[in-house]
């Protein structure tokens, strides 16, 4: 538990736990939940000292950003919501609270609107009769597929199971509810089935300045198989998943999750020398990506740096790493 957790409202702590335990998951939903938590924390603050309020919000943001390391949407959302706190125009706790609460709401609104725009831009890439493959559970990718279907295109979807957490089941349910035809497939079958796929659409946790995309483990293998068969591979993502940190060469930390997601405790006890590696994300190089569908339009992956510079400005190199890296690669 974070040292200041006793000062945070229970709802903030609950949101942080849900993100850590993947009850809230997916980069966009994580960012929205973090923004909401900041709004709740600001509302709950009781003191009158502006500096103390700022410190309190910094501690809340540390709790939130410590939950999962890979999706840059999380620190991006937190910095965006807390930006007014560094403005000289804010001179009282009341003003600061109001500014944080209104930015938190504005972020959630922006995120919802962004998904709508991504759907509108992205659906144009899909053609009547397409078989589209998607991986994991990405609302941005799903919004593109569903929009095309709602506009009357007959789309069939291959959904990977997405071991070890089976987010493919969630995706299947969402798409079935919309009336789409689904084939749930193990990701090990992707190369074999790629000959029946017209397009791949996946989401992103982080887009690096060089256009590389970090997404659920297995994405880069799917991209490789698509590349081999010259199948278009699209990434659907809000621009708040573009990483300003990578602009100055920071490596995106890849989350490694517990062995228990892969293998039973019993099996581990039976084989004490067995080590399990469970990386949750991988990196797809820009050369395998046909286009990135954002709320600002569809861009070639190599233009990621331009988007980052436009949104965040040219980042200043700091001596401190912006985010802690917690990897268990042992
Ligand atoms: C989820 C995942 C999703 C992206 C994009 O991983 O990799 O593809 O987060 O999702 P996890 P969205 O289940 O480990 O969080 O488009 O919904 O933001």
Residue with tokens 């597929």, as numbered in its chain = 145
Q: Are strands 281-284 and 213-216 parallel, antiparallel or unpaired?
A: antiparallel
pLDDT of residue 326: 35
The finding on whether 32 has its CB within 6 A of some atom of ligand 1 is no
| 74-85 residue pLDDT tens | 999 999 999 999
Q: What is the pLDDT along the chain (330 residues), one digit of tens a residue?
A: 445 545 899 999 999 999 999 999 999 999 999 999 999 999 999 999 999 999 999 999 999 999 999 999 999 999 999 999 999 999 999 999 999 999 999 999 999 999 999 999 999 999 999 999 999 999 999 999 999 999 999 999 999 999 999 999 999 999 999 999 999 999 999 999 999 999 999 999 999 999 999 999 999 999 999 999 999 999 999 999 999 999 888 899 999 999 999 999 999 999 999 999 999 999 999 999 999 999 999 999 999 999 999 998 876 554 443 443 333 334
Q: Are strands 291-294 and 297-299 parallel, antiparallel or unpaired?
A: antiparallel
Type and span of the H or E element at 149: helix 139-150
Contact criterion met (CB below 8 Å) for 132 and 202:
no
Contact criterion met (CB below 8 Å) for 185 and 132:
no
pLDDT of residue 248: 84
Closest residue CA from atom 1 of ligand 1: 26
Q: What are phi and psi of 265, to 5 degrees?
A: -55, -35
Mean pLDDT, the chain, whole residue set:
93
In the reported structure, the alpha carbon of residue 13 is separated from the centroid of ligand 1 by a whole-number distance in angstroms of 22
Identify which of 18, 20, 24, 27 to mutate to test ligand 1's pocket (most ligand atoms within 8 A of the CB): 27
Tokens matching residue 88: 């000289």
Coil, helix or strand at residue 234: strand
In the reported structure, the alpha carbon of residue 143 is separated from the centroid of ligand 1 by a whole-number distance in angstroms of 13
Please state the pTM of the whole predicted model.
Answer: 0.93
pLDDT of residue 330: 41
The DSSP bridge partners found for residue 232 are: 199
Q: What are phi and psi of 134, to 5 degrees?
A: -130, 160
Which atom of ligand 1 lies nearest, measured to the CA of 281? 7
- Active site annotation includes 17: no
In the reported structure, the alpha carbon of residue 214 is separated from the centroid of ligand 1 by a whole-number distance in angstroms of 10
Task: List the Cα angle 100/204/19 in 5-degree steps.
Answer: 50
CA dist 308 → 151, 281, 303 (Å): 32, 22, 9
Closest residue CA from atom 7 of ligand 1: 216
Identify which of 119, 204, 292 to mutate to test ligand 1's pocket (most ligand atoms within 8 A of the CB): 204
Q: What are phi and psi of 178, to 5 degrees?
A: -80, -10
The finding on whether 206 has its CB within 6 A of some atom of ligand 1 is no
Domain boundaries, the chain: 10-116, 125-312
pLDDT of residue 316: 57
Q: What share of the chain is helix, strand, coil (3-state, %, to 5)?
A: 50, 15, 35
pLDDT of residue 159: 98
Q: Which of 44, 128, 205, 250 is catalytic?
A: 205
Nearest CA to 43 among 24, 28, 57, 33? 57
Q: Look at the domain 10-116 and name its fold.
A: 1.20.120
d(CA 68, CA 325): 10
Say which residues have a Cβ less than 8 Å from residue 308's Cβ, sequence separation at least 6: 209, 242, 243, 244, 246, 247, 315
pLDDT of residue 320: 44
Task: List the Cα angle 156/172/184 in 5-degree steps.
Answer: 65
Tokens matching residue 282: 């991988």
CATH annotation of 125-312: 3.40.50.10470
Mind spelling out the 3-state secondary structure of 58-75?
HHHHHHHHCCCCCCCHHH
Say which residues have a Cβ less than 8 Å from residue 309's Cβ, sequence separation at least 6: 247
């Amino acid at each position: 538990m974070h040292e200041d957790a006793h000062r945070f409202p229970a709802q903030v702590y609950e949101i942080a736990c849900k993100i850590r335990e993947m009850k809230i998951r997916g980069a966009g939903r994580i960012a929205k939940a973090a923004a909401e938590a900041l709004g709740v924390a600001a509302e709950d603050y009781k003191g009158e000292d502006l500096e103390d309020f700022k410190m309190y919000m910094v501690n809340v943001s540390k709790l939130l950003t410590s939950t999962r390391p890979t999706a840059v949407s999380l620190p991006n959302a937190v910095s965006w919501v807390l930006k007014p706190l560094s403005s000289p125009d804010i001179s009282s706790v009341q003003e600061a609270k109001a500014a944080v609460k209104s930015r938190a709401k504005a972020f959630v609104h922006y995120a919802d609107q962004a998904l709508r725009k991504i759907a509108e831009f992205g659906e144009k890439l899909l053609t009547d009769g397409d078989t589209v493959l998607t991986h994991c559970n990405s609302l941005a990718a799903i919004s593109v597929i569903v929009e095309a279907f709602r506009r009357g295109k007959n789309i069939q979807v291959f959904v990977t199971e997405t071991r070890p957490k089976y987010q493919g089941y969630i995706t299947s349910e969402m798409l079935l509810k919309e009336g789409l035809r689904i084939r749930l497939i193990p990701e090990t079958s992707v190369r074999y089935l790629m000959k029946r796929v017209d397009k791949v659409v996946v989401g992103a946790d982080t887009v690096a300045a060089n256009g590389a995309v970090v997404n659920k483990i297995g994405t880069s293998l799917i991209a490789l198989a698509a590349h081999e068969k010259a199948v278009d591979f699209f990434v659907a993502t809000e621009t708040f998943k573009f990483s300003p940190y990578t602009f100055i060469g920071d490596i995106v930390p890849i989350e490694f999750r517990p062995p228990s997601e892969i293998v039973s405790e019993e099996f581990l006890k039976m084989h004490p020398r067995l080590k399990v590696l469970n990386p949750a994300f991988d990196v797809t190089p820009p050369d395998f990506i046909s286009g990135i569908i954002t709320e600002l339009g569809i861009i070639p992956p190599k233009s990621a740096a331009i988007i980052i510079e436009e949104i965040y400005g040219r980042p200043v190199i700091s001596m401190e790493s912006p985010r802690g890296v917690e990897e268990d690669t042992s």
